[in-house]
Structure 1
């Protein structure tokens, strides 16, 4: 299993790009999973469903299984949100894991940037950004100095090539996350 992230500001087109990338990766014969960070509360369960009733009654975990899919819901009940490296250990084996969001977690990332969003580039402050996919020209001396690959946002094939090339093994991604968590705890 290998891991690489897709990062950028809200509205930059991360999800849109991932929806275009996944079929290309599958077309190469790769199995793909994703981990998506939500900055707000979300719910996949709704009132009236038995699984919802189980959670509301106090169950910490509710596992729902059907012939089509399996979903595990875990209530944190005041516990801290798991870090990326902990979440990655929960996935079933696949060839490639695409991580959307998790800007501050240490793993290689492709930054998605669209000028219309009006936000600055993330790469100058994030050494884990290995490439940029942008809808405009990236005119920044920092890019040249850092030797960051810059791709047109609409060149999905080139983006897929970079993602496959720059992904790191799962155990390395987990080790990076643990080291960062330990360093943050020591600070």
Structure 2
């Protein structure tokens, strides 16, 4: 999926490539000679010329197509609610899923888990764990499902009850931020005063 991911990236050699192609057609097939004879035109460094010659001029040139999406982009598409995806991202995700059946299965599991979290449907978790544990092509998902079974009652309660510890975590995060801002230069009294005054 990631083959040719960087093929359309701009380089310092781009303006020089037509000249290299012309010299290659004229019969100069040695990268060192190509670089030495045209040092006044070429960018600094022989390595760029050598790489361009070995990748694009020797043998078959690589077909230039649209740049494939990065792993981070595909992850973001899978974790975003399908209705919230822009049309362009939706089309690209559909193309990626069509080329990779493992990602298609993963997308279904991720979306069903997302529905459980969003709609507080913790009673469906055992069925989801069973389905995720039976996938042989997705070992990471299988391990995640097995780890959920370790504390199943707590996870089901977290996916069912409307209460959560978000407010407490927010306060803890704020206190840690205040502590980090002082870089260990102040004592407990100043930290206490800052925490009390910031709330």
| TM-score normalised over the length of structure 2 | 0.25
| TM-score normalised over the length of structure 1 | 0.26
Higher strand residue share: 1
Work out which structure has the larger RCO, using CA pairs closer than 8 Å and 6 or more positions apart in sequence: 1
Higher helix residue share: 2
Q: Which has the larger radius of gyration?
A: 2
